[in-house]
Amino acid sequence: MSKGLLQYLTATVLRMMALLIAVTMLSFFLVHNAPMDPVDAFLGEVTVSEEQRAQIAEHWGLNRSPVEQYLIWVNNTLHGDMGESLTFHEPVTKVLGERFRASLLLMGTAWILSGVLGMILGIIAGVYKDRWPDRIIKTFSLLLASTPVFWIGLLVLMVFAVELQWFPLGLAVPIGKVESDVTWLERLHHLVLPALTLSITGIANIVLHTRQKLIDVMESEYVLFARARGESLKELVLRHGLRNIALPAVTLQFASISELFGGSVLAERVFSYPGLGSTAVVAGMHADAPLLIGIALFSALFVFAGNLTANILYGVIDPQIREGGGIDG
Amino acid sequence: MANEKFLKVKSEGLNRRRKILLIIFSGVIILAGVCLWGIALDPSRYAPNYEARRLAPSLLHLFGTDNLGRDMFYRTVCGLSTSIQIGLLSALISSFIALALGSMSAVFGGKVDQMVSFMVDLCMGVPHLILLILISIAVGGGAAGVITGVAVTHWPNLTRVIRAEVMQVRSAQYVQIARKLGKSNWHIAAKHIVPHVFPQYLVGLILLFPHAILHEAAITFLGYGLPLDTPAVGVILAESMKHLATGMWWLAFFPGIALLLMTQLFDVVGDYLKILIDPHSARQ
């Protein structure tokens, strides 16, 4: 690894650390500003005396200043304690861990699916530029780019779960089955529709990108020369096209993790899939401050990990970027 | 001679420029029409009617009726109108933020530029929906929550565009010359920078609408946006989820299509405006 790249990496990591701290401050500020009382949220239907309320508030440190509360939270978080979720009555770290595993399966499948499918469609469109396969694929992608995820989810549900009944209506496992009894096949059966929905929305980006890159490659002089040497279309695409397209496409996929996460919130909601996204929705409804902040931090971490990978890959692809790295990167 | 030729082309009717203008104009007319129709619509058109419950789409009820016998077509029109209004307001606020931050970071550079860049990264670092949920909770939900949320999350891209544009025009030779000629900063800003940046700003603003509208629908769909009794597309789609299993497909299908068409229309207007403004792409 060159010295330049190392420097670039250190700078990027430092910047991301600063951003993470800013994210926790921002989410803490937002949740703190909310017009709901955490004591009420905790108690729910239970009624208690004023004295007991005051005790709970003091136990949680609610009577201290927001800055003090934030510092306590930071201190505890650094020690691995992110507080207890008010909705699930479990430690936030445990809830995050469990839910994230389900989400990771969903997002990972969708991520790979959209990447592979997008590449294939993009290559087809690029090879048949301005002919009917290209027109269909391009129109389709442009349309998909502005279609709401949850609406696609609803359509998919109507067709495959209600009409054809090929797949279950929702959830990650069959209803009323103990976690340990669930087979992998059943999990997969429940995963298909949400993963499909989520992948459809991410596909447009990668298709259009791959298409454009392949067109650029195919119009280049080295491809013209390769054609003159008598290489077939298949050889051209595999040897010259794919090599030039693959890495930028993977980078693009890493950079789009934020959108994937946002989409998973909606997809999980439609399919009642118990992942991190639907947990965020529930946490918000129940004014579950510790869990909300935890999810915000976690999602930011996840997005930063994706962006960091993308940045490193950019550096690998194009040495020029290591030098600059400004706002319009 | 040249003038005559020009007139002849014009009299033949639609040249490229006019065609584009016509498309933009009709797009805007349709969108404004839907918006005004929704505002002027008599609420009794989509009031519950228990004698006409769960009807499939027909000529009388174009989009069918729901569980309470509400006409889905008029509800959708009203919902689209609400979406356009909220999209308009939040996109405008968002674009002002972008304009201010973008030009500030280009003009002052240095520390200010770094600050703005940091804010852009911060805003892009958290998935938008999570941020929208947090903001909606902080503001107390409802329309105010949606507008604030969408407004403060959608500025980063436009900020980058405006920053780049201002930087470009600032270092252009004619601006350098104007400066050497002793023109004041105000003169340069008003005569050179604003005319150059404004078209880009306008395109950016219009292309913001689809995002704003889709995010409004998404956050409402999740239950953090507009209250349940407003006829919003997000609310309609969230309700339709309960009736999917009973085969009332029209509840989700038509309002979704309508929303999709509307965002496409905004995209078309924005894209054609871009072609009109950018001489480079117009020559193609």
Q: Is residue B235 part of a domain?
A: yes
Confidence check: pLDDT of A327 > 50:
no
What's the CATH number where B124 sits?
A: 1.10.3720.10
pLDDT single digits (tens) A218-237: 888 888 898 899 888 888 88
Choose among B150, B279, B170: nearest CA to B225.
B150
Banded pLDDT at A44 (limits 50, 70, 90)? low
> What value of ipTM does the predicted structure carry?
0.82
Give exposure, B6-24, as e/b (b: 16+ Cβ within 10 Å). eeeeeeeeeeeeeebeebb
pTM listed for this prediction: 0.82
Q: Is residue A128 part of a domain?
A: yes
Q: Is residue B52 part of a domain?
A: no
Q: Which range of residues forms the domain containing residue B89?
A: 24-39+70-278
Higher pLDDT, A10 or A43: A10
Q: Is residue B56 part of a domain?
A: no
Q: Is residue A37 part of a domain?
A: no
Q: Is residue A60 part of a domain?
A: no
Distance, in Å, from the CA atom of B149 to the CA atom of A167, rounded to the nearest integer, reads 36
B137 touches chain A (CB under 8 A): yes
Q: Is residue B126 part of a domain?
A: yes
pLDDT of residue A231: 85
Q: Is A19–B113 a contact, with Cβ atoms under 8 angstroms apart?
A: no
Comparing CB atoms, the residue among B135, B240, B260 nearest residue A147 is B260
Distance from CA of A243 to the nearest CA of B (A): 30
DSSP assignment letter at B62: T
Residue of B nearest to A165 (CA): B245
- Which candidate in A158, A175, A270, A301 is best for mutational testing of the B interface (most B CBs within 10 A)? A158
Structure tokens at A293: 């902040």
B249 touches chain A (CB under 8 A): yes
Banded pLDDT at B98 (limits 50, 70, 90)? very high
Banded pLDDT at A241 (limits 50, 70, 90)? confident
Q: Is A303–B244 a contact, with Cβ atoms under 8 angstroms apart?
A: no
Q: Is A22–B113 a contact, with Cβ atoms under 8 angstroms apart?
A: no
Banded pLDDT at B95 (limits 50, 70, 90)? very high
pLDDT of residue B123: 87
Cα angle value A303/A304/A306 (rounded, 5°): 65
B89 touches chain A (CB under 8 A): no
Q: Is residue A163 part of a domain?
A: yes
Q: Can you point out the beta strands (E) in chain A?
A: none
pLDDT of residue A175: 63
Q: Is residue A232 part of a domain?
A: yes
Which sign, positive or negative, has the C-alpha torsion A36, A38, A41, A44? negative
Give burial (CB, 10 Å; 0-12/13-18/19+) of B180.
Answer: exposed
Structure tokens at A146: 């502005």
What's the CATH number where A135 sits?
A: 1.10.3720.10
B117 touches chain A (CB under 8 A): yes
Distance from CA of A66 to the nearest CA of B (A): 15
Q: Is B130–A258 a contact, with Cβ atoms under 8 angstroms apart?
A: no
Banded pLDDT at B168 (limits 50, 70, 90)? confident
Distance from CA of B137 to the nearest CA of A (A): 6
pLDDT single digits (tens) A47-81: 777 777 777 777 776 767 777 778 888 887 787 77
pLDDT of residue B283: 45
Instruction: Give me the number of domains chain A comprises.
Output: 1
Q: Is residue A147 part of a domain?
A: yes
Are B135 and B77 contacting, i.e. CB atoms less than 8 angstroms apart? no
pLDDT of residue A328: 40
Q: Is B134–A269 a contact, with Cβ atoms under 8 angstroms apart?
A: no
B217 touches chain A (CB under 8 A): yes
Q: Is residue B236 part of a domain?
A: yes
Banded pLDDT at B96 (limits 50, 70, 90)? very high
Q: Is B137–A22 a contact, with Cβ atoms under 8 angstroms apart?
A: no
Q: Is residue B261 part of a domain?
A: yes
Give exposure, B262-282, as e/b (b: 16+ Cβ within 10 Å). bbbbbbebbbbbbbbeeeeee
Distance, in Å, from the CA atom of B133 to the CA atom of A229, rounded to the nearest integer, reads 58
Q: Is B140–A150 a contact, with Cβ atoms under 8 angstroms apart?
A: no
Counting residues of chain A whose pLDDT is more than 70, the rounded percentage is 86
Chain A residues lying within 8 Å of B247, measured CB to CB: 162-163
Are B212 and B90 contacting, i.e. CB atoms less than 8 angstroms apart? yes
Q: Which range of residues forms the domain containing residue A178?
A: 94-288
Instruction: Give me the number of domains chain B comprises.
Output: 1
Number of cross-chain residue pairs from A and B with Cβ atoms under 8 Å apart:
144
Instruction: Return all residues near A189 (Cβ < 8 A) that are at least 6 apart.
Output: A167, A168
Q: What is the mean pLDDT of chain B?
A: 82
pLDDT single digits (tens) B184-222: 888 888 888 888 888 888 888 888 888 898 888 888 888
Q: Is residue A41 part of a domain?
A: no
